[in-house]
Amino acid sequence: MDSQLLCEFQSLAGSETGCCEGSSSQLELGGLGSGAPRPLSGHLYASSPRLHISLQRFKKKVDFNKTGDHLALSCDVAKEHDVQNTFEEIEKNLGRVNFLVNAAGINRDNLLVRTNTEDMLSQLHTNLLGSMLTCRAALKTMIKQQRGSIVNVGSVVGLKGNSGQSVYSASKGGLVGFSRALAKEVAKKKIRVNVVAPGFIHTDMTKDLNEELLKKNIPLGRFGDALDVAQAAVFLLESPYVTGHVLVVDGGLQLTM
């Protein structure tokens, strides 16, 4: 991509945001779940020399081992004040936001009757409210400049549902409804909104799953990687005549659900 890219990720550890610049455009990406942000931001960064990273908690030094300008901030996308401050800092240091990818995602697997209210709220706040807050913040600039592209990362579970993941399914299904409604709201402003819906992706969130057993239900016979999701996100960001679309990236898993 020959544009400035702002990527924001929300994972189990917190929120990570990256931004790279090639010209005058900027993209915002929000979390793929624990473990995914780093390789995803690496792929998006490869096409542009400027990167911004924001983490709710810094577990280790951020080092992309590349040349270019870097900016590290702390942000929790589920907190309105954090989001607003982060966008102000990003625009101050890196310029306008033209693209947004929200990949926020945490999961607390459990049957609904065994799920406590705190776990319900944490999933809804991170997976849905966080994306709403970052979308709203990005739109303030996008509407003024009459251009922009947003990709929200959902889940195939948000489309099909899954036992033991009723709250997670609701949060990701809600993200689809939100994205389609928003696509209608901002289309006349030349702003596009789409969704990527991954299946099983190699992240910290899935590392303890029985991969050998689960991949038997995936027609392509493997888990996906963050790169698979990143490529789909970039495709939607760069497709000028696509809006309100849900692109499933699951190796065919939905065919067996």
Please state the domain extents for the chain.
5-256
Highest mean pLDDT of the ranges 17-26, 180-189, 218-227: 180-189
The H-assigned helical ranges of the chain are: 37-45, 80-94, 117-124, 130-145, 157-160, 166-186, 211-214, 226-237
**Superfamily of domain covering 5-256:** NAD(P)-binding Rossmann-like Domain (3.40.50.720)
DSSP 8-class letter at 209: S
Q: How confident is the model at residue 206 (pLDDT cuts 50, 70, 90)?
A: confident
Burial 48-74 (b: 16+ CB within 10 A, else e): bebbbbbbbeeeeebebeeeeebbebe
Q: What is the mean pLDDT of residues 227-245?
A: 92
Q: What pTM was estimated for this model as a whole? A: 0.79
Catalytic residue among 87, 168, 178, 223: 168
Task: Please name the amino acid found at residue 13.
Answer: A
41 near 213, Cβ under 8 Å?
no
Give the alpha-carbon dihedral of 123, 124, 128, 130, to 10 degrees: -80
Position of tokens 């990687």? 225
Within 13 Å, how many C-alpha atoms sit on residue 209's CB side? 16
Q: How far apart are CA 83 and CA 129, in angstroms?
A: 11
Three-state SS at 7: strand
pLDDT at 31 over 80: no
Q: What is the mean pLDDT of residues 84-110?
A: 83
Q: How far apart are CA 57 and CA 74, in angstroms?
A: 7
Q: How confident is the model at residue 41 (pLDDT cuts 50, 70, 90)?
A: low
Q: How far apart are CA 153 and CA 41, in angstroms?
A: 14
Stretch among 31-45, 194-208, 220-234 having the lowest mean pLDDT: 31-45
Q: How far apart are CA 40 and CA 21, in angstroms?
A: 16
Among this protein's residues, is 168 annotated catalytic?
Answer: yes
pLDDT at 66 over 50: no
